[in-house]
Amino acid sequence: MTERRLSPLDRLLARADNALRTLTPGTIQAERAPTATPESPGGEAQPGSIPSDQRRHVMGLMRINHTGEVCAQALYQGQASTASLPHIRHAMEEAAKEEEDHLAWCEERIRELGGAPSKLNPLFYAMSYAMGATAGLIGDRWSLGFVSETENQVVKHLESHLFQVPESDLRTRAILEQMRTDELKHAVTAKDAGGADLPPPIRHAMTLMSKVMTFATYRV
């Protein structure tokens, strides 16, 4: 079924399906593995090879990254729901599809480390969807600018996390490195497509929300 044949109800049901799959553990499967290692993400390092205190910290970091991917799904779906140009809507939906791999990788790694995704994910999904839909209503240039700024901030988070993950944890590092590569590509693509530079107050507000999400999901 092509985009032209989708009715508003079809698109609504598709977004509801995406929300349910995003928020239901184990429903999204990765279609690829990070290219940093020849096996499915960094299979050389097992949880037992990481000291318990470091394992708990890495698990917290991966919980943050998983919630970040939940937010990314909601953000892109929200923007796609209000984008005025069909090619922009399609680009948002394609980006959300690529982000599904990240979601699956993070959830799998959290489970391997003995943890579970954040209980706050439904709240952050709803907030991110609303932000994405609002950005789409304002205009496609601002919507793309919002994507570019979001992805640039995610890249900084991932780079910070890579400094904190033990060198011996090859599996987690492979996931984070591939995510960083993909997110940077999304940021550049959105910018090249005509994304506007966001005003400093909006960028600061996004940074503040990111800090709140990071603090909360590391613990809950």
User: Quick one: pLDDT band at residue 107, thresholds 50, 70, 90?
Assistant: very high
Topology of domain 7-22+48-219, CATH: Ferritin (1.20.1260)
User: Binding residue per annotation — 108?
Assistant: no
User: Binding residue per annotation — 99?
Assistant: yes
User: Binding residue per annotation — 57?
Assistant: no
User: Binding residue per annotation — 159?
Assistant: no
How does pLDDT run across 25-83, given as a tens digit for each residue?
778 877 777 765 444 444 444 544 678 888 999 999 999 999 999 988 888 888 777 76
CA dihedral 149, 155, 158, 163 (to 10 degrees): -120
The length of the chain, given as a count of residues: 220
Q: Whole-prediction pTM value?
A: 0.84
pLDDT at position 217: 94
Nearest residue to 82 (alpha-carbon basis) of 68, 67, 92, 97: 92
User: Binding residue per annotation — 151?
Assistant: yes
How does pLDDT run across 119-151, given as a tens digit for each residue?
999 999 999 898 888 887 888 788 888 888 888
Provide Rg for the chain, Cα atoms: 17
Residue 79 neighbours by CB distance under 10 Å: 29
Sign of the CA dihedral with 91 first, then 104, 74, and 150 last: negative
User: Binding residue per annotation — 90?
Assistant: no
